Amino acid sequence: MKIIFMGTPDLAAVSLEALAKKYDVVGVFTQPDKPKGRGHKLMPTPVKETALKFGIEVRQPDTLRDGNVLEEFGEVDLIAVAAYGRILPKYVLEYPKYGCVNVHASLLPKYRGAAPINRCIMDGETESGVTIMQMDEGLDTGDMLSRTVLKIGENETAGELYERLAAAGAELLVETVGKIERGEITPVPQDDSLASYAAKLTRETGRIDWTKSAEEVRNLIRGVNPYPTAYTEYEGEILKITEAVRGRSVDAESGTLLGVFDNMLEIACGDGKSIFVKTIQFKGGKKMDVKSYLNGHSMNFGVKLI
């Protein structure tokens, strides 16, 4: 099985590593290096780093619309894709013998799109998973080849679920490629009537609306951790909230900073319940647990967060 792999972030790198240990990955396509840090030094993507570790040829084109980018690798059996970050043109989809398969971090057809891991937690889902699908010209609309289901922990964050899905996706990809090679796959069409869209996250996605229920607020905090991070305003300052748990019934206006309970900040939400905040970060400061922060700072209770 001669394979080309396309992907960019950590999640994709885990799949590439698993694939490269078992199959002949002849080439890797990933996003161009980007400047990072104060020195704006160009840094390779996690997929590029993994490819170089295995001695695999790496290509980082700005576009895939030039047919020559694939032809230099000759005939290939399969293109495996995981969070590549580019739309594949029709000629790429049709280039390999078995087409292109994608590692998608949701239980399709739910959560098609850019941010399935975050959105499922924000929506309060209790399970997630990975679907390997046959790619077509639509947005995550191709036939499903295999899937695996994971339960979501009560306080699990998007970052924590990301790590588990990366490992599960890598294992499922290797298993699925083997089944493709042996002719053991029966594609299952997606039911478009059950589809939902997981829109890309922006900084504004993390703004907390305290009029929402305590559970909705808590799910937002989990779903945007570690990025873009939930935030609110406390007396004109941006206050990031990175960890919170269920609170209790309260009689207070939504957004009211009620006080400290068991070394956590208690904040009222719109359904007559509160959340207990465990870790916070003010702009320019370090992320700290509430007890450590209050050891060196004071907060005015009874004020309303916005």
Tell me the per-residue pLDDT of 60-80, one tens digit each, with 9 for 90 and over. 998 888 767 898 899 999 999
Q: What is the pTM of this model?
A: 0.93
43, 168: one domain: yes
Q: What is the DSSP letter of 36?
A: E
Q: Give yes or no: residues 65 and 159 share one domain.
A: yes
Tens-place pLDDT, residues 10-29: 999 999 999 999 999 999 99
pLDDT at 46 over 90: yes
Tokens for 270, please give them: 């719109």
Q: How many domains does the chain have?
A: 2
Domain shared by 127 and 38, yes or no:
yes
Residues 191 and 235 in one domain: no
Do 117 and 152 lie in one domain? The reply is: yes
Residue 223 in any domain: the answer is yes
Q: Give the residue numbers spanning the domain of 237.
A: 203-296
Q: Is 303 part of a structural domain of the chain?
A: no
DSSP 199: P
84 with 171, same domain: the answer is yes
Separation of alpha carbons 87 and 100, rounded Å: 12
Asked if 305 and 244 touch (Cβ cutoff 8 Å), the reply is no
Residue 304 domain-assigned (yes or no): no
DSSP string, 250-279: --S-TTBEEEEETTEEEEE-TTSEEEEEEE
